[in-house]
Amino acid sequence: MTDIISPEWLLHHLDDPDVIIIDCRFTLGQPEAGFKAYQQQHLPGAFHLDLEKDLSGPITDHGGRHPLPNPQKIAKTFENMGIDEQKHVIAYDDQQGAMAARLWWLLQYLGHSKVSILDGGWSKWIELGYPTTTIQPEAKPTTFTPHLHQELLAEMEEIRQKLHHPDTILVDSRDERRYRGEYEPMDPIAGHIPGARNYFWQEVLQKQGEWKKTSELEKHFQALPKDKEIIVYCGSGVTATPNFLALKQAGYKRVKLYAGSWSDWISYPDNPIAKGEENG
């Protein structure tokens, strides 16, 4: 299954009954904007899933700003959209793939590998002049049985145990200023997890917003040994998922997502915090 599919491919599969399209548009700080944009215009046949209402669980003392949803609850949501093991899910957004990658990772974690991201997302689709609609599709409910792949997920205790472990590399997916602790717009404490290296998630994309080719991604991550375990994180576990996908594209086999990410890490007062550069 190809993780990234072209707009041309999707254009020719809009009427395929085994393809289900999910609009994941969401704007941080403007929680209603994504669904409003979907109501105004979306890809033909697309359903909408909201980052905070659907693709995240309730916020508690720990778990970060976007905790993972309850597996049974999100499975029910998928069932109601007609997603089962036969369906190929195509996710898109207008946030450079971050929200779509969150859905991509969630489905992988739940054992559904037939999921791809639309290359270039909504912006590319519109640029190409491909069809859109305001009609919301009617779902044909089915059965979705989750089979959790725990090897894709890292929890806080595991991170704490593996700090500076020679076989594990932490990758911070936030921009350089947030990584270095110079600026923190989202969370109450600035900095990064000690030992983490910084690979800003948007660097896996071309300037036009499309995903870089495999050879480019291999070059981008060349300083990371492929025999090491790589654990990616960001602010809340969303924008780390493009890095997760890109590492997989580049041939890394042992990749995990710290789903709670920085916002979970700092919810434990005893966890150490680093600032400055550690990319050596």
Catalytic hit among 106, 234, 240, 257: 234
Element (DSSP H or E) covering residue 117: strand 115-118
Residue labelled with tokens 């991201």: 117
* Helix (H/G/I), strand (E/B), else coil: 264: helix
Question: How far, CA to CA in Å, does 162 sit from each of 34, 155, 199, 230, 272?
Answer: 37, 11, 19, 11, 13
First-residue to last-residue Cα distance in the chain: 35
- The one-character DSSP state at 95 is S
234 carries an active-site annotation = yes
**Taking each helix axis from N to C terminus, what angle separates 241-249 and 98-109, rounded to the nearest 10 degrees?**
70
Handedness of CA 175, 223, 156, 78 (dihedral sign): positive
**Which residues have a catalytic role annotated?**
234
